[in-house]
Structure 1
Amino acid sequence: MNTSTWIGRNMSKLLPEPKPGSKPAVSSVEGSSHAIEKGVSASAGATPGVRSTRERLSATLRRQEEALSPRVLRRTLEELKAIVDARVSEVEGGRRAQGVALWYASATEAQRRDMWLLMSEQFVADAQNVRQAQAQFAAAVGTPDEAAAEVQYRRATVSPRRRLLQRFSVFDGGIRFLVDLRAEMLPYLKTDRRLQALDVEMEYMFSTWFDVGFLDLRRISWDSPASLIEKLIKYEAVHDIRSWADVKNRLDADRRCYGFFHPRLPDEPLIFVEVAFTTAIADSITPLLDEAAAPADPARSSTAIFYSISNTQPGLKGVSFGDSLIKRVVETLRTEFPRLKVFATLSPMPGFRNWLSRHADRLLQLTPMKARDELARSLGAQALTAQAVLAALESVPALEPKSPLRHWLLQCGAQYLGREMADGKPLDAVARFHLGNGARVERLNWAADPSAKGIRQSCGLMVNYLYDLGRLDRHRTQLAQGKIPVSSATAALFF
């Protein structure tokens, strides 16, 4: 019997017996989110009277709401500490970590949360060593000993938690285990602040392990393994793939799809982008997804449209590689098709309608009086109110080009994308991604996404972000100064 099997078997013996009729834990993010919706407590840290792991470790009896008894909690902590024992090798530490991972796979959701808390609260840097190293560094500033003191200070602030995560990454499947663990933990962060230390540590480690220098750019085509194409269907987050004919259309010879892959997750795209070739910037998603449309000739096309970009791993939240993906794809496309000159997106505005519902009163106040009168007449309203405007949104696909409501919604869309910011960043999540990469808001497109999802999220509006390769740095600088880069056509729509 190997070490990992022994640890997993012995820790399993310490688990409390499941109650009759109880179900095993769900290991996916969907499962954990479902549990929250069903009322499973995710707020141990925020609930008055709940004991900390330190208190539970020194206790004798378990309280009713606690998953692991003090005895099992102490044994679990011992197993975690054994993983980072300085006397064992990386390989042996990895074997021990695998044993804990085996126990984790059969643990209930509440038991898993107890392990997260142990990892977060019990593997911290020694406070006394940190204070001492900090004082020595402060005293050494400006002296020949400054560099050495800084090194000591940096070492003192590194928590044993980091070494614990490193040991989990050693065994085959260890990185997959950690990514899934964080994905499962993320829904609980807002309600249990005690988990934040573990989350931040994991984000830091993942940013190192998933640095773009370690990622491979691979084209995904119809000739790719069926298992990979199935994951493409599963992870598509922008425009749902309806059938095998749909996915074949997106992967055909006149299209391109690229993804970033990590050597330790060779069959899992971390992020992928779908590209269509056109002769002009696309203003509607319908022809791009039309399976019966005549294929384009990429060699004769002037424009590459990025119409879908999907992150696939919730556990890698905060790890940014989208910027590098687009750069690499642009370089690859320019090499293969020298006639391509324009690189743009056709992007959703997922938060627009909710934002509009919350700020309709303010937006009407920004609207000039003449335009408000025209809008009121078009709605047949005695008095123009936010309620009257919002009630009319259900019929937006049928609005005529000269409709005052249509023009007003385009103005609101421009305001949302080009003026609204939070904490110095664009309010819209998709806008944050593309504008942060150096693109600019190029054009708003009416009825560009007539699907039920498109109407529900953005009244059917979509936006083109233009990647002007000669101005990416300028646009980033502009954004850093608090001004969103937009085209003159978009600026003309501002109130």
Structure 2
Amino acid sequence: MNVNMNFLQELLSSIGRRSRGQGSHADKQGSSNGLSRLSTLCETLMHPVGEASQILTAQEALERYATLDDAGRLAFFRLLADHYAAVPEEIHAAYAEYRTHEDNASLETLFAACEPRRQHLLRRLNLCPGGTYELVKMRSDLLGLLKANPELKPLDADFAHLFASWFNRGFLVLESIDWNTPAAVLEKIIRYEAVHAINDWSDLRRRLDPDDRHCYAFFHPATGDEPLIFVEVALCRGIPNNIQGILAGGDDVRPEDADTAAFYSISNCQSGLKGISFGNFLIKQVVQELKRELPNLEKFVTLSPVPGFAQWLEQERKAHPEGGGAEIASGLEDGPWLADAKAREKLQPAVRGLAAHYLVDAKHGSGLPLDPVARFHLGNGATLHRLNWPGDTSDKGLKQSHGLMVNYLYELDRIEQNHEAFSREGTVACAGEIRRDAKQGRARLRNSTTKADA
């Protein structure tokens, strides 16, 4: 049955594309015409029709959406938010029925009444081949409009609710990416790399081809060769402290001689899946894969950026111009430390203290660490293990963190314990040295006469 249905979907989609091919140009002439037709198609999808008609209608609806300009997309999202919301009268009636009977049947009716009608519409749009990925791109468009149009947040909540089910861990497929992976996928790895830009194919080959380099990605059956998230791994002797050395090349260590796997880049690929967690599953499964393949590996760490450190330090300088952090911030921006080893040595204790204080004590509005990368890894159960300064002297590294990088340590027997403590109490699991550095950093910020110490 599934094979027959897949064949039917492909056949109907092919027929639909041919039959609509001549009209597509006219649709692009006016977004209002496209929006009007799209509205009609959506209303059609809300009514019972045969599966073949549903597939064709959903296919055309998504194609019509793709022709809309920015104003047309905003109008369409407002249509979904307003016209396809739950119906209050139906909710009140269903609730009254439930209060009278309090049985499973009336409870089911109440649940159905409370669900916004647009969730049903999105499920119908998902029927056609490629529909899931088109809806992911649609949500990406929506996210770009939310800040200026907060009234659309309930619509985004519906997308997130459905995607959490459609992209749960049971559907994800882990694939190893190497130099022999099809070029179509490799091109996407280059495009989606978000931490350390891949400059060209030679640069990509340095990350994939050597024996001491690995890359893993999650895929979903409904999105084809579009990766959802991927992680790049370097096998090392000891814990690495500098990203430039890793990016320069590979084959420095034979895999059987390595004792450490360093996750040095994790990139989410689909902005439309924001808020859907993949990274925690990815890291844990890759750890298991590597441990099975290379039992000699003893440590699993990251070499992570600290993207909010420079901005936080600048805010501290403006808020407390006479404080101990102001002079350090000036020294990092204007001083000769990048080329002068003695200047680096002089600054290092202060930088370590302020960085540790930022990572351990500075909090987001949620009460969790201010730094987004710290929230991610600590939330996954990792330990804040070591500060590396300077660890990234690229232009991006200097701009976002004054060259600071961090090792987060994934200890297999402590991941769940750390995760639970972080989730319940916001506890930051960290090495004793970092906790001592954080204490010194707090004192430095309170002290306005630290010139001699700096």
TM-score, length-scaled by structure 2: 0.86
Q: Which residue of 2 aligns with 1:483?
A: 427
Deviation string 1:19-54 (CA, Å, 9 cap, x unpaired) is: xxxxxxxxxxxxxxxxxxxxxxxxxxxxxxxxxxxx
Q: In structure 1, how many angstroms separate the alpha carbons of the residues matched to 2:22 and 2:123?
A: 23
Within a 5 Å distance, the mapping from 1:226-245 to structure 2 comes to 226-245=183-202
Q: Which residue of 2 aligns with 1:83?
A: 45
Q: 1:4 to 1:151 in 2, by over 3 A?
A: farther
User: Is 1:259 equivalent to 2:220 in the alignment?
Assistant: no
Q: In structure 2, how many angstroms separate the alpha carbons of the residues matched to 1:277 and 1:165?
A: 43
Counterpart of 1:474 (choices 381, 399, 417) is 417
Indicate if the aligned counterparts of 2:233 and 2:265 stay in contact, CA closer than 8 A. yes
Counterpart of 2:95 (choices 129, 134, 139) is 134
Q: Which residue of 2 aligns with 1:277?
A: 235
* Aligned-residue offset at 1:236: 0.6
* Aligned-residue offset at 1:264: 1.5
Counterpart of 2:282 (choices 301, 325, 342) is 325
Q: 1:108 to 1:335 in 2, by over 3 A?
A: same
More helix by share: 2
Deviation string 1:359-395 (CA, Å, 9 cap, x unpaired) is: 2366788x7xxxx5xxxxxxxxxxxx83774364243
Q: In structure 2, how many angstroms separate the alpha carbons of the residues matched to 1:91 and 1:466?
A: 52
Q: Which residue of 1 aligns with 2:293?
A: 336
Q: In structure 1, how many angstroms separate the alpha carbons of the residues matched to 2:79 and 2:420?
A: 42
Q: Which residue of 1 aligns with 2:356?
A: 414
What is the identity, as a one-letter code, of the residue corresponding to 2:84? F
Q: In structure 1, how many angstroms separate the alpha carbons of the residues matched to 2:207 and 2:315?
A: 36
Q: 1:197 to 1:228 in 2, by over 3 A?
A: same
What is the identity, as a one-letter code, of the residue corresponding to 1:224? T
* Aligned-residue offset at 1:91: 3.5
Q: Which residue of 1 aligns with 2:58?
A: 97
Counterpart of 1:169 (choices 122, 126, 129) is 126
Deviation string 1:201-249 (CA, Å, 9 cap, x unpaired) is: 1111111111111111000001111121111111111111123222111
Structure 2: give runs of 5+ residues left out of the alignment. 1-13, 443-454
Indicate if the aligned counterparts of 1:5 and 1:99 stay in contact, CA closer than 8 A. no
Indicate if the aligned counterparts of 1:8 and 1:103 stay in contact, CA closer than 8 A. no
How many aligned residue pairs are there? 421
Deviation string 1:88-116 (CA, Å, 9 cap, x unpaired) is: 03442221121122222222221122112
Q: Which residue of 2 aligns with 1:452?
A: 395
Q: 1:284 to 1:159 in 2, by over 3 A?
A: same
What is the identity, as a one-letter code, of the residue corresponding to 2:417? R
Q: Which residue of 2 aligns with 1:21?
A: none
Counterpart of 1:106 (choices 46, 60, 67) is 67
Q: Which residue of 2 aligns with 1:386?
A: 326
* Aligned-residue offset at 1:74: 5.7
Q: In structure 1, how many angstroms separate the alpha carbons of the residues matched to 2:87 and 2:41?
A: 20
Indicate if the aligned counterparts of 2:240 and 2:303 stay in contact, CA closer than 8 A. yes
Q: 1:386 to 1:295 in 2, by over 3 A?
A: closer
- State the superposition RMSD in angstroms: 2.5
User: Is 1:430 equivalent to 2:373 in the alignment?
Assistant: yes
What is the identity, as a one-letter code, of the residue corresponding to 1:410? R
Q: In structure 2, how many angstroms separate the alpha carbons of the residues matched to 1:364 and 1:404?
A: 21
Q: In structure 2, how many angstroms separate the alpha carbons of the residues matched to 1:306 and 1:322?
A: 12
Q: Which residue of 2 aligns with 1:213?
A: 170
User: Is 1:116 equivalent to 2:77 in the alignment?
Assistant: yes
* Aligned-residue offset at 1:77: 2.6
Q: In structure 2, how many angstroms separate the alpha carbons of the residues matched to 1:474 and 1:362?
A: 37
Q: 1:91 to 1:324 in 2, by over 3 A?
A: farther
What is the identity, as a one-letter code, of the residue corresponding to 1:231? K
* Aligned-residue offset at 1:130: 1.2
Indicate if the aligned counterparts of 2:314 and 2:329 stay in contact, CA closer than 8 A. no
Q: In structure 2, how many angstroms separate the alpha carbons of the residues matched to 1:388 and 1:409?
A: 7
Q: In structure 2, how many angstroms separate the alpha carbons of the residues matched to 1:283 and 1:410?
A: 14
SS at match of 2:305: coil
Q: 1:127 to 1:90 in 2, by over 3 A?
A: farther
* Aligned-residue offset at 1:403: 4.1
Q: In structure 1, how many angstroms separate the alpha carbons of the residues matched to 2:185 and 2:26?
A: 38
* Aligned-residue offset at 1:139: 5.5
* Aligned-residue offset at 1:300: 1.8
* Aligned-residue offset at 1:467: 0.6
Q: In structure 2, how many angstroms separate the alpha carbons of the residues matched to 1:119 and 1:107?
A: 15
Within a 5 Å distance, the mapping from 1:20-31 to structure 2 comes to none
Q: In structure 2, how many angstroms separate the alpha carbons of the residues matched to 1:102 and 1:354?
A: 42
Q: 1:352 to 1:138 in 2, by over 3 A?
A: farther
What is the identity, as a one-letter code, of the residue corresponding to 2:186? I
TM-score, length-scaled by structure 1: 0.79
SS at match of 1:272: strand
SS at match of 1:257: strand
Q: Which residue of 2 aligns with 1:45?
A: none
SS at match of 1:425: coil
Indicate if the aligned counterparts of 2:173 and 2:220 stay in contact, CA closer than 8 A. yes
What is the identity, as a one-letter code, of the residue corresponding to 1:85? H
SS at match of 2:398: helix
* Aligned-residue offset at 1:295: 2.9
Q: In structure 1, how many angstroms separate the alpha carbons of the residues matched to 2:164 and 2:301?
A: 27
Q: In structure 2, how many angstroms separate the alpha carbons of the residues matched to 1:264 and 1:97?
A: 16
Q: Which residue of 1 aligns with 2:246?
A: 288
Q: 1:363 to 1:325 in 2, by over 3 A?
A: farther
Q: Which residue of 2 aligns with 1:29?
A: none
Q: 1:165 to 1:421 in 2, by over 3 A?
A: same
SS at match of 2:113: helix
Q: 1:428 to 1:360 in 2, by over 3 A?
A: same
Indicate if the aligned counterparts of 1:7 and 1:96 stay in contact, CA closer than 8 A. no
Q: 1:338 to 1:75 in 2, by over 3 A?
A: closer
Indicate if the aligned counterparts of 2:212 and 2:251 stay in contact, CA closer than 8 A. no
What is the identity, as a one-letter code, of the residue corresponding to 2:401? S
Q: Which residue of 1 aligns with 2:160?
A: 203
What is the identity, as a one-letter code, of the residue corresponding to 1:158? E
Q: Which residue of 1 aligns with 2:5?
A: none
Structure 1: give runs of 5+ residues left out of the alignment. 19-66, 373-384
